Amino acid sequence: MASSAPALELGRWLPYRMFVVAGRVAELLESFYGPRWGMGLPAWRILAVVADRPGVSAREIARACGLDAVAVSRGIGQLAALGFARREAGAQDRRYASVTLTAEGEAAFAEIAALARAIEARLLAALPEEERAALDRALDRLDTASGKIAGAGWRALLADARAEGLGR
């Protein structure tokens, strides 16, 4: 039986299109920092979060990076083994650990961030100034909307889609 629901065109689906752009950028960055320092993508994400928020906890890193606790622990371990980060137990609660960058970690981050800014500049150069501003506003709204969607959960979304005649 044929479905009356519209087909999903992957190449036109907004989340996929955003994933493709982000994936290309991530691969390009990883081709730089991977061979240079032996760092993987999770470690780079953690490095960037810790550079932005020194003293951040593993739980906060997991939320910021969208990584599970195991990946965060391994990434922090990798950064510590490279001499890029320190993990310090909390004074009151030994289970809490804050993560900070070492001077070597800050230097590595600075090199990677310079390349990241160059990539961003090239991407934004493809847009006129008014489109850049519109994109920034749109991404802010999409970030807020995606948080609400994720908070509602897939069951609510599926029920809404069914009620609207978009799903089976």
Comparison of pLDDT for 89 and 138, the residue scoring more: 138
Quick one: what percent of the chain has pLDDT higher than 70? 91
Report, as an integer, the average pLDDT of 96-119: 95
CA dihedral 17, 148, 96, 113 (to 10 degrees): 30
- Residue 85 · residue 102 · CB < 8 Å: yes
- Residue 3 · residue 168 · CB < 8 Å: yes
- DSSP readout, 93-116? -TT-EEEEE-HHHHHHHHHHHHHH
pTM, 2 dp:
0.83
pLDDT tens readout for residues 159-168: 988 888 765 5
CA distance 123 to 22: 11
- Residue 97 · residue 58 · CB < 8 Å: yes
pLDDT tens readout for residues 81-106: 999 999 987 666 656 779 999 999 99
Report, as an integer, the average pLDDT of 145-165: 90
- Is pLDDT at 60 greater than 80 in this prediction? yes
Lowest-confidence pick of 1-5, 35-39, 147-151, 164-168:
1-5
CA dihedral 30, 32, 38, 39 (to 10 degrees): -40
- Residue 78 · residue 41 · CB < 8 Å: no
